[in-house]
Structure 1
Amino acid sequence: MTQEEKHQHWINIISNQQESGLSVPQFCKQHDINYATFHYWLKKLKQTDEEQIVHQVIMNDSSPLDSVVVVYLPNGLKVELPTSLSLAQIQTWLKALQ
């Protein structure tokens, strides 16, 4: 099973549990699923859903050195980065601020 197939498999299992009305321990016991494995995938899928996507930023090379790019992050932070930064540097900053 590929990683994508595992991912989809566990999305289906977690969805089935939520729709079943059973508690997680009851569902796991009834379907012969390891309780710890269920929680591992629940946490893993939740983290995947919460990940932020970094989009490529294209900057004009002719812009003055003192100009900035303002980024508003979902957590409420406002970041002002100099346009002189490379794309790799911007991505590093954004990852650090998540």
Structure 2
Amino acid sequence: MTQSEKRQHWTNIVFKQHESDLSIPSFCKQHDINYATFHYWLKKLKQTDDAQVAHQVVMNDPPSFSGEMVVVHLPNGLRAELPTSLSSVQIQTWLKALQ
């Protein structure tokens, strides 16, 4: 598993824990996840963007419009549907968060 895949995997796990409304110890026990490993990744994912590398978003095809939405396909495999009413700053913020 690449570092990017690991990061995405643990991002999903942390999100699921947050959405579950379970405490971290309960969530880890219920999902057979090592508590220390969960905290390691939680801390790693919360690190500032200063240490992260920005990647250019390459769009091979023109963006697809679905009503008032623009669909963006990111190099990491994510697909984002963003409202066309967003400002350029908001779009940049979303793209940075999804990398």
For normalisation by structure 1, the TM-score amounts to 0.50
Structure 1 consecutive aligned stretches of length 4 or more whose deviation exceeds 3 Å: none
Unaligned runs of 5+ in 2: 54-99
In the aligned structure 2, how far is the partner of 1:27 from the partner of 1:21? 9
Matched, 1:46 2:46: yes
The letter of the residue matching 2:14 is I
Percent of paired sites with the same residue: 73
In the aligned structure 1, how far is the partner of 2:43 from the partner of 2:5? 17
The letter of the residue matching 1:6 is K
2:30 alignment partner in structure 1: 30
In the aligned structure 1, how far is the partner of 2:3 from the partner of 2:32? 21
Query: How well do the aligned residues superpose, as a CA RMSD in angstroms?
Result: 2.0
Deviations 1:26-55 (A, max 9, x none): 0000000000000000000101xx12379x
1:15 alignment partner in structure 2: 15
In the aligned structure 1, how far is the partner of 2:36 from the partner of 2:19? 20
Unaligned runs of 5+ in 1: 55-98
The letter of the residue matching 1:37 is T
For normalisation by structure 2, the TM-score amounts to 0.50
The letter of the residue matching 1:15 is F
Q: Alpha-carbon deviation of 1:10?
A: 0.1
- Equivalent runs, 1:1-98 vs 2, <5 Å: 1-47=1-47, 50-52=48-50
In the aligned structure 2, how far is the partner of 1:43 from the partner of 1:2? 19
